[in-house]
Structure 1
Amino acid sequence: MAEIQFRYQPPTSGKHLVGLAGDFTGWEILDMNEVGGVYFLNLHIDEGRYCYKFIVDGNWIPDPDNPLTEPDPFGGFNSVLIVQETIPSRFSWEEIIQDLSLLDERKGYYVDLNRISDEQYELRFNWFPSLPADLIALIDGVSFPLYRLGITGNQEVFHCLFTCPRTFCNIKIKIQGADNILFWGAEGFSFQEDGVTPYLLELSNYPIFSVPEWVSHSVIYQIFPDRFCNGDPSNDPDFSEDYYKDCRTPPPPGEYLPAHAEYFHLVEDWYDISYLKQSPWLPEGKPDWWCFYGGDIEGVRQKLPYLKDLGVNLLYFNPLWQAKSNHKYDAADFKKVDPHFATEDEMKAFVKEAHQNGMKIILDVAFNHTGEAFWAFRDVVEKGPNSPYWLWYDWYKWPLPNPLPPDFNPREYYQCWWGIKDMPDLNYDLSRPHPAENYVRDINKAVPNRSLVNHILECVQWWLMNIDIDGFRLDIPNEVPYWFWELFRQEVRAMKPDAWLVGEIWHSGKGWVNHHYFDSVMNYAYFKDPVLEFFILGICDKKNFCARIENGLAQYPIQGIKAMMNLLGSHDTIRILELAKGDVSKVKLALLFQMTFIGAPHIYYGDEIAMLGGKDPDNRRPFNWKWEEDSVAVDLRNYYKNLIQLRLSHPLLMDGEFSFLPAPEGLLAWRRYDENHKIDIVLNYGKENNHLESISASKIIFTEGKVDHNDNSLMLYPNSAIVYIS
């Protein structure tokens, strides 16, 4: 029997009912428990093969984090769980000495190659965790130490970087055990170096997976435009646009808004956040989804000195295109800046000024759906099949009832994202219904909706070349066909070769981070989730935390790892200080790991000044520009600032290798290093003083909390940490 943890994170915020049912429950629904917006359930399950599903607000869905599925009897899919008892170590060195042929069974799976540029490569060697060893790659006779990345599945993954100007190279691997030396080559393994011939790698066979180098040296700052700063009140929303015509009036005093009705309005007091917790026009527990605060691009421009002082150098904006909502994911026009944010000229001038201040700009775009106010959708609503844009959407029934009845179900009329009427899904493949079109990789096996695809690519070019942004964060890309993203990448690279493409993938992005699709993903699975569960929520132990971090390092190519968006929170999640229940010391330890880990650290606006916020929309509060009156905010911002400066002033923290170090329980230690230099980090996450002996610190470069250090030992008090060059 094994303990299995099931976890589910809804793509939409708010209150949800989440359950689990499967063969192991007799298909009885078990409630899952919410912790910080994520739903968990731990079960002890006997060895075997099982089918299961999540039940989310009454909808039966497969586990989005589990790629193993099989058809269910109802035309959908079940997730498949295979439970195996703990297997003893596969081989021991003693067994290998007796029978070297044990290693031959996976002869073709030891070596992987990843091409970074014309002449630069990453070599990976997959070894056995049960056979501890130091590994060296002999590439054309030159020795390269193989650095350990981590374990994924039953493979311990090591790697090195090398350059080669030729179209081929020869490699051997030297495997140094405690008492034995093995060599691997074309014929397999031998205890003698001359017992194997070099393995020939045809380098020209490997495609280049290029990722902008600037990303690994970035510190990302995410801005939700309506809530950052109102720099120009003259462009505040007045709701004069046609799409607001039926939603400008509140209900009579003492009454609630009817079903499907909306009331869009401006909050006059920037610091009044009451609407984000409870709408005066909805029943108890319902926030105000339709309030605006007037934040704009001019406000961000005015605060560029604040951002530069903080040290960030990459601004990530939630959607800036014209849309009805405050979040702008419901686009009314992909190719127009929302007029309540900026004019086109103002937007271009802002991007130019940001660039002059050393800041890149990436934009959040959602291309799986539009808004109901989108010009093409409105044309279809009016004209039906006679509209030239009829095939841009999946329609089941037309026309729409007017007015919408209280029991209106948009899915009876058209395909829409999560059944939300404001977000009709786009139709990319004329040969398949949604969502079957999403799983097609080969464009030759699809019938592309060319007019739709061409329009989206024109809009992409407008943002990249006319506005001059530096890349895109791609919203819910797994709900758009794979073949489109391959085409998208080709077109973006042709327009701007160093543009960054990062996908919003909440689970493993292994199949997405490659030369076909994205440079990297938002690192929910192998950074945010384990970091929050270990440092903030305390529901993950050190062993499990380290294993999950290493699993990500072992899965992704090195250029993708360096470009991962390592976030602790976003507009979709509860704020980190809220999760920590106001305990800033926990947040500081998580931040230290974030800022010294490999990948691009991400800051959600306001986290640096100790802003709180629960579920959406409470996590989207207006920025507190009175933060200097709050000593906690001042202290935390200084901590962020110092960590950013630490990171950017030490290239090893951006480009070096990463590994965890042995440390007593209560201490977590890790290293950033190359062949010649090392930076070590140790923190005390426990409740007791903790002592670490036999350290060698030539220079202490950062401390947090109370730390006692002498020539060869270290005492860390609770919630303290030290960073030193060793």
Structure 2
Amino acid sequence: MRRDPRFSPLWLALLGGPLLTGQVLAAPEVHLYVDGKAVATPLHLDKGPVALTHPLAKGSHQIRISDAGNSCGTSFGPSESKPLPFGTAQPMDNCTKDQSFTLRVMLAGDYQFTFNPDTPSLQVLRATKKSEFKRQPPEEPCIQWDGDPVTVSLQGIWPDGTRLRDAYSKQEAVVKQGKLTLTPAKESGGLLLLEPVKVAKPTPFSWDQASVYFLLTDRFHNGDPANDHSFGRQKDGQDEVATWHGGDFKGLTEKLDYIKSLGMNAIWITPMVEQVHGFIGGGEQGNFPFYAYHGYWALDFTKIDPNYGDEESLKTLVDEAHKRGMRIILDVVMNHAGYTTLADLQDLGLESLTQNSDKLPTVWNQWRPSGDLNWHGYNQFIDYQSPNWNQWWGPGWVRAGLPGYPQPGTDDVTGSVAGLPDFLTESTKPVGLPPLLAAKKDTKAKAIPNASVSDYLIAWHTDWVRRFGIDGFRADTVKHLEPEVWARLKQAGTAALKEWKQANPAKALDDLPFYMVGEVWDHGVAKDFWYQNGFDSLINFDYQREFALPQAQCMAGSDPTYASYASRINQDPEFNVLSYISSHDTKLFFGDYQDIPLQRRVANSFMLLPGGIQLYYGDESGRGLAKDGGVFDQSVRSDMNWQELGHGDKAELVKHWQRLGQFRAAHPAVAAGSHQKLSDAPYAFVREQGDDKVVVVFAGRQK
């Protein structure tokens, strides 16, 4: 039961004297001050905790709460100037005339401030709901369209008499005197997608025209609630920033037709192997329990994490995707294992690595911080100086800051990513099974004679290909491994997929070899040595960072990018990139401006990009940000917004992306063809590959 705020020490001090009969004391009113300016919305001190949302630009801001006169008793801030962390309620003094908190904002947007006058304290989180203020993207000059019919010159492209169709609106017209006139559908944003009415001969799939739908399995769709709490995993009952949310293979299978409707021909799923069972503390302040819902903290590479499903549900997913002509790309982690958690030590019988375990609950995954502890407090129960750490992964397997283990280095290959145990992939020394797996009763890991660490990792990952027909890998943290290890993984994956196709001829889609795309952090459109070490493509960080926003603002400005990509990528059969506008590690395009018209326009420029593209789940539906608990990338991992897709603006947004995706899927020339600009106003270009030819017209931003 919450204490009545009218009888808090603060409230009593403000009375200042006895009330006369019938006199009503007005509740004191204060304001949030940001950089010395009061936010208009007042905060009333008689209402207990009160929250307001306010937009903040990137950078450092001075934060305090006060009345207009900075009066003692209603002037709240730190006793001395100090940082204001995200997610943790910070104590405040109520007579601070000159001191403010410093809040450092890494990502511009709306932020929620929660002020509790009883304590008093202040907490700040990235907001999940819009405030009345709406950020506007920067102005970008653009050609204008008045809504009238548009005429485009097609001289030398198609002969007179050719009947063309706008794939967006389904209108048809005939080329006359080298020109064609049509009116773009209003909802297209001034776009015409011209294709011959005559049905073209279907073109076999090629990875050169990859359209990849990327999703975090746990955040996509829950098809089987019975597996939501494997290994005693718990909800936190608060913002659920980094708990398991329930998405699984069964749920993904139920949504395959939806993904297919977007024109996607491949699905990239996050790592599916068994993750560490428990949690660590989330963020510098330990604001929340952080589980391995994302898949990047492996415990056992030979098992599917039961939160995602079982082998039968994986088989069904792959088979059903293949029936629809879609490939499955599995995210693989060769660089590191997961952190040590209390649940793992209990489940694996490694109690000798703990201390004070008599103070833990019967099920260690049910531990919760109390008193002055935050979620980092679980560390007090782990004995990091124990001589028994050789029972864990073992010093022949990983670098770790533990007794008897090799210490992490300072370069990309030998360093530790985010403090995770770093596999000794450069070692050629034979090793047995890591001790924790040798003792794990349900593992499928078997000792491999004369095998090194990288030999085991390659064997474990490619076994999924051999058994289930996985079509390709997305390789995590590529630059943190030796190039030759990736080359060996590609070779083994190719052999494994060939074996699966030979054993399952009725299920094989084609004879294409195994595919690998890599995450080399901050890599752009450049063909370098990675392409000689197993990779068919690399993720292109440049497009999101430099081009996505201005080209969404005005598609007519896309031509230099289109021409460059088509020339550099499509002229080289051994070179491709996977471009994106949103990802789980960087940003959510919709998150910056929450602007549905802008999200429609970015579809126009992005979905017509030469080379491969990666659509992050919810790009097509305006999925919003989640609360991040002070860890910025958690905001971009919100649950798929299925509930918003039944009607309204976001349902129409999905239809828009579907039309563009289906056009891309129907015409290999869009992704893999040559590019030639036809005119500036309207902006028009032709793409051509073999017998496939299309013209795209952008009339301009509507006046």
Q: TM-score, normalised by structure 2?
A: 0.52
Other structure's SS at 1:679 match: strand
Corresponding residue number in structure 2 for 1:598: 610
Alignment of 1:234 onto 2:226: yes
**Would you say 1:578 and 2:591 are equivalent positions?**
yes
1:487 maps to: 488
SS at match of 2:300: strand
* Cα separation, 2, equivalents of 1:621 and 1:471: 26
Per-residue deviation, 1:459: 1.1
2:349 matches 1:359: no
Cα displacement (A) at 1:537:
7.8
Aligned runs of 1:440-519 on 2, under 5 Å? 450-496=451-497, 498-505=513-520, 506-508=522-524, 509-512=526-529, 514-519=531-536
1:633 equivalent in structure 2: 650
- Indicate how the Cα distance of structure 1 residues 340 and 35 shifts in structure 2: closer, same or farther if over 3 A, else same: closer
Asked whether the 8 Å contact 1:500–1:519 carries over to 2, the reply is yes
Looking at structure 1, the residues matched to 414 and 490 of structure 2 have their Cα atoms a distance apart, in angstroms, of: 25
1:198 corresponding residue in structure 2: none
1:430 deviates by 3.7
Q: How far apart, in 1, do the equivalents of 2:694 and 2:482 lie?
A: 43
1:300 counterpart residue number? 252
Instruction: State the 1:416 CA deviation.
Output: 8.5
Counterparts in 2 of 1:478 and 1:661: CA distance versus 1, 3 Å: farther
Tell me which amino acid in the other structure corresponds to 2:235. Answer: L
State yes or no: 1:329 paired with 2:296: yes
Q: How does 1:55-66 map to 2 (within 5 A)?
A: none
1:519 Cα deviation after fit: 0.2
Unaligned runs of 5+ in 2: 1-57, 61-103, 110-203, 277-291, 354-383, 430-449, 499-512, 627-631
The reply to whether residue 608 of structure 1 matches residue 560 of structure 2 is no
C-alpha distance in 2 between matches for 1:474 and 1:16: 33
**How far apart in 2 are the matches of 1:386 and 1:233?**
34
- Tell me the distance in 1 between the aligned counterparts of 2:675 and 2:516: 24
Q: Is the 8 A contact 2:332 2:461 kept in 1?
A: no
Superposed counterparts of 1:505-544, under 5 Å: 505=520, 506-508=522-524, 509-512=526-529, 514-525=531-542, 527-536=543-552
Alignment pair present for 1:266 and 2:235 = yes
- Cα shift at 1:304: 2.3
Instruction: Indicate the residue corresponding to 2:418 in structure 1.
Output: 420
Change (3 A) 1:358 1:562: farther
Give the match's secondary structure for 2:695. Answer: strand
Cα offsets for 1:378-406 (capped at 9, x unmatched): 89987456878412222455169xxxxxx
CA shift for structure 1 position 308:
3.1
Provide the rounded CA distance (Å) in 1 between the counterparts of 2:527 and 2:697. 30
| Candidates 663, 666, 669, aligned match of 1:652 | 669
Question: Match for 2:268 among 302, 312, 316?
Answer: 316
Answer 1 or 2: higher relative contact order, Cα 8 Å, separation at least 6: 2
Cα deviation code 1:291-348 (max 9, x no counterpart): 2211111111222232333332311101111113111101111221101111122212
Mapped to 1, the partners of 2:249 and 2:469 lie a distance apart of 15
Query: Which secondary structure state, in structure 2, belongs to the residue aligned with residue 496 of structure 1?
Result: helix
Q: Which amino acid aligns with 1:583?
A: D
Contact 1:562 1:600 in 2 (8 A): no
Task: Please state how far the C-alpha of 1:489 moved relative to its aligned partner.
Answer: 1.9
Out of 307, 315, 324, the position equivalent to 1:348 is: 315
Distance 1:303 1:450 in 2: 40
State the alpha-carbon separation in 1 of the partners of residues 603 and 574 from structure 2. 18
Q: Secondary structure at the match of 2:295?
A: coil
User: AA paired with 1:480?
Assistant: L
Report the alpha carbon displacement of residue 658 of structure 1 after superposing the two structures with TM.
Answer: 2.1
Q: Residue type of the partner of 2:550?
A: F
Q: Give the match for residue 672 of structure 1.
A: 687
TM-score by length of 1: 0.50
- Counterpart Cα distance in 1 of 2:541 and 2:658: 24
Contact 2:677 2:684 in 1 (8 A): yes
In structure 1, the gaps of 5 or more residues are 1-14, 18-31, 38-211, 241-263, 269-273, 277-287, 401-408, 433-448, 684-715, 721-726
| 8 Å CA contact retained: 2:556, 2:680 | no
Distance 1:383 1:595, change over 3 A: same
Q: Greater strand share, 1 or 2?
A: 1
Q: CA RMSD in A?
A: 4.0
Other-structure match for 1:390: 395
Mapped to 2, the partners of 1:338 and 1:416 lie a distance apart of 28
**SS in structure 2 opposite 1:610?**
coil
Higher-Rg structure is 2
* 2:196 match: none
What is the deviation of 1:411?
A: 8.5
Residues of 2 paired with 1:306 and 1:338: CA distance?
25
Q: Displacement of 1:536 after TM fit?
A: 5.0
TM superposition shift of 1:648: 2.0
Residue 642 of structure 1 pairs with residue 659 of structure 2 = yes
- Cα deviation for residue 417 of structure 1 reads 6.3
Post-superposition shift, 1:360? 1.1
Q: Is the 8 A contact 2:570 2:673 kept in 1?
A: no
Q: For residue 481 of structure 1, report the CA deviation from its aligned partner.
A: 0.5
Secondary structure of 1:456's aligned partner: helix
- CA offset at residue 657 of structure 1? 0.8
Shift of 1:643: 0.8
Contact 1:513 1:560 in 2 (8 A): no
- 1:617 maps to 2:634: yes
Matching residue of 1:29: none
